[in-house]
Amino acid sequence: MGETIIVGYIFFALTTALAAVVTILMPVLKELYEDQPSNPLLESTFLTYMVFILLSVVVAPLLAIPTIFDRPNQVFKDALLNSIKD
C-alpha cells in the first residue's frame, strides 16, 4: 500500500515537472531569447532545464494548478519572466 502511494507520487511529480517545462519554462525562455539573447539562463540551457525539472519535482503540488489552468499559467509565466529580466 505504502509503496503504491510513493510510486504514484513519483509519477505525479515527474509528469507535472515535464508539463511545467513545456507549458511554463519553454515559452518563458523563448520570450527571454527575443528580448535578452545574452541572458545567463540562455547561455546554459541544459543547466537551466535540469534545475527547473529538479525544483519542479520537489514543488510539484504547487505547480499542478499553473500547469493545468490558463490564467494561473499566464500569471506564473509573467512573474517568472519579470524576475528573470530584472
pLDDT, position 2 = 77
| Amino acid identity, position 8 | G
Any residues with CB less than 8 A from the CB of 16 and at least 6 apart, and which?
56, 57, 60, 63, 64, 67
Q: pLDDT by residue (tens digit) across 2-54?
A: 799 999 999 999 999 999 999 999 999 999 999 988 888 899 999 999 999 99
Which residue range(s) make up the domain with 23?
A: 2-85
Count: domains in the chain: 1
pLDDT, position 76 = 95
* pTM for this prediction: 0.88
Residue 85 reports pLDDT greater than 90: no
